[in-house]
């Protein structure tokens, strides 16, 4: 079997490594002309890390990441901690893997090394032609690739998604976020500052050498979704005027600041045709408010590899993959949308009610972090 993966992000590369580990030939095609150190921090939970451990990548990821000892929720104006839950050793005993903060570029580098080859760069997919005995991916430079299966791991604006699910448009959330890295800080865990109309999340990466922050604000326009859009530390700090000095100082000390518009898409009725399927953001782009985007792409990769390795009937394997993944990712997508409003309540009864619910977070989020993708694939 020959699999062509469109997109060399976290999901696409994990899928390639997982497929090759099961003896399936997998090639990766990427639209960028060179791998870029894009993005900022990624949180990896036990559900994603157990997959990476199974692929033999756990030690390498741990070596470039920060193991987060706690999760804290702080008041926007005072900076005071109103809830704290353990992560670290407690989390790993509970869920069978660590909770890590890692720079996306570091994770990408680990996956590239594990792929043991280079993605074919400068190949932007523009279409797919499918037949009974194979499928062809077509690229903007006029080149074509023939395979038994094409996997669309090409992100929010996936060309492969259009072949599978038809035309649909990204949904703008009405918000954007400032993202950046700050050298050193007293923030050593996963830290939320919750306040009226906006919130900020921060955690260490690269062994604590840097703190990654994501600061969410309203955005009245409809800017294009882009990982290359830029802002300034001053603009980011000004957007949080009146907040605790911990927040404004963190934002003001950033070296470079990106400003990303936040989009997702409505869930699709189907992910697959007879020889084409979707993975990661191409299948289920989600807002970042559950910290599960990369983890769900990694789960997708493991499930797809297991399903394709289970038999020679490609269409049946892709149908099984879709059955295993669709309901779970849809639920996390919906939760990610709902968390945005929950995290941005003004002081008052609604915020007090939310804060009371956060006391039970280890229990209410356990279904996400304790999930076993291997059992899900082999189950009924």
Q: Which residues are catalytic?
A: 203
**How are beta strands 134-139 and 144-147 bridged, if at all?**
antiparallel
Nearest to 358 by CA among 376, 342, 336, 377: 342
* Residue among 248, 241, 258, 167 nearest 197 (CA): 241
What tokens appear for 288 in the block? 């970042």
For residue 294, give the nearest of 281, 278, 303 by alpha carbon: 281
> Beta strand pairing status for 190-195 and 70-75?
parallel
Q: In what order do the strands lie in the sheet with 100-103?
A: 41-44, 100-103, 66-67
Helices (H), 116-232: 159-165
25-29 vs 2-6, strand pairing mode: parallel
CA distance linking residue 54 with residue 60, whole number of Å? 12
Reported as half-sphere exposure (CB side, CA atoms, 13 A), residue 308 has a value of 29
- Cα 83 to its chain centre, rounded Å, is 25
Contact 30, 125 (CB under 8 A): no
Helix axes 10-21, 46-54, angle to 10 degrees: 40
- Tell me if 82 sits within 8 A of 191, measured CB to CB: no
SS3 273: coil
* Whole-number CA gyration radius for the chain: 20
| Tally of CB atoms within 10 A around 232 | 16
């Amino acid at each position: 079997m020959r699999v062509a993966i469109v997109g060399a992000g976290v999901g696409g590369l994990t899928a390639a490594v997982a497929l090759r580990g099961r003896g399936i030939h997998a090639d990766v095609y990427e639209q960028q002309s060179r791998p870029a150190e894009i993005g900022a921090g990624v949180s990896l939970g036990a559900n994603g890390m157990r997959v990476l451990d199974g692929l033999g990548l756990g030690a390498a990821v741990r070596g470039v990441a920060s193991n987060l000892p706690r999760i804290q929720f702080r008041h926007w104006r005072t900076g005071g901690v109103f809830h704290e839950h353990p992560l670290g050793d407690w989390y790993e005993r509970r869920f069978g893997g660590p909770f890590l903060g890692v720079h996306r570029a570091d994770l990408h580098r680990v996956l590239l090394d594990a792929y043991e080859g280079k993605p074919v760069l400068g190949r932007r997919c523009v279409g797919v032609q499918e037949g009974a005995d194979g499928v062809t991916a077509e690229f903007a430079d006029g080149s074509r690739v023939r395979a038994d299966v094409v996997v669309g791991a090409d992100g929010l604006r996936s060309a492969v998604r259009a072949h599978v699910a038809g035309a649909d448009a990204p949904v703008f959330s009405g918000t954007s976020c400032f993202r950046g890295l700050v050298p050193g800080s007293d923030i050593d865990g996963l830290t939320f500052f919750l306040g009226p109309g906006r919130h900020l999340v921060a955690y260490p990466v690269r062994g604590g050498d840097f703190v990654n922050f994501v600061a969410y604000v309203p955005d009245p326009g409809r800017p294009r979704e882009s990982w290359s859009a830029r802002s300034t530390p001053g603009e980011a700090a000004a957007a949080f005027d009146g907040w605790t000095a911990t927040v404004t100082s963190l934002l003001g000390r950033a070296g470079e600041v990106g400003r990303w518009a936040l989009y997702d898409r409505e869930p699709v009725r189907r992910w697959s045709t007879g020889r084409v399927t979707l993975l990661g953001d191409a299948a289920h782009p989600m807002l970042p408010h559950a910290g599960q985007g990369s983890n769900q792409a990694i789960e997708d990769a493991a499930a797809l590899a297991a399903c394709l390795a289970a038999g020679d009937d490609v269409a049946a394997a892709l149908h099984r993959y879709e059955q295993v993944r669709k309901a779970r990712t849809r639920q996390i997508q919906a939760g990610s949308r709902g968390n945005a409003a929950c995290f941005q309540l003004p002081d008052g009864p609604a915020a007090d009610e939310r804060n009371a619910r956060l006391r039970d977070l280890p229990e209410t989020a356990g279904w996400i972090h304790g999930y076993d993708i291997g059992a899900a694939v082999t189950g009924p």
